[in-house]
Amino acid sequence: MQGWILYKRKMDELTERDHGVNRLLSAAADLQIELKVYTPSQLNIIVLSGASSVLLDDKPVALPDFIIPRLGAETSSHAFALIRHLELQGVYSANSATFSSASPAYT
């Protein structure tokens, strides 16, 4: 099983202050789940003639089984679009783009 955490920092930029994300990574490793951390700016959506794909650092990437958005108030419109696109492609999201965008902080 493979998952992505969408976060404000890349995996190699995490520090001890990113305790929540580090804890998720540790728990995933214990459960033999491959979990990676990406920023929304690392990911792009490409839609051509009805077919779509996601690029990671400008290279096609297989979709994960699930995503965990951990962006909070830093969630951009690009991040919402990315989360929604992944949901529409059948990727489970721990925090739905619909729910997150309906938050009072974004209205």
Quote the pLDDT of residue 99: 52
The DSSP output letter for 40 is G
Alpha helices by DSSP H, listed for the chain, are 19-30, 77-88, 97-101
**Does the pLDDT of residue 97 top 70, yes or no?**
no
Quote the pLDDT of residue 107: 43
CB 55 within 8 A of CB 28: no
Strand partners, 46: 53
Predicted confidence (pLDDT) per residue in 30-83, tens digit: 999 999 999 999 999 998 887 888 999 999 999 999 999 999 887 899 999 999
Q: What is the rounded distance in angstroms from the CA atom of residue 69 to the CA atom of residue 99?
A: 12
Q: Which residue has the tokens 């490409």?
A: 46
Q: Which residue has the tokens 């400008």?
A: 58
Residue 73 main-chain phi, psi, to 5 deg:
-70, -10
State pTM to two decimals: 0.86
Quote the pLDDT of residue 71: 92
Strand partners, 92: 66
CB 38 within 8 A of CB 9: no
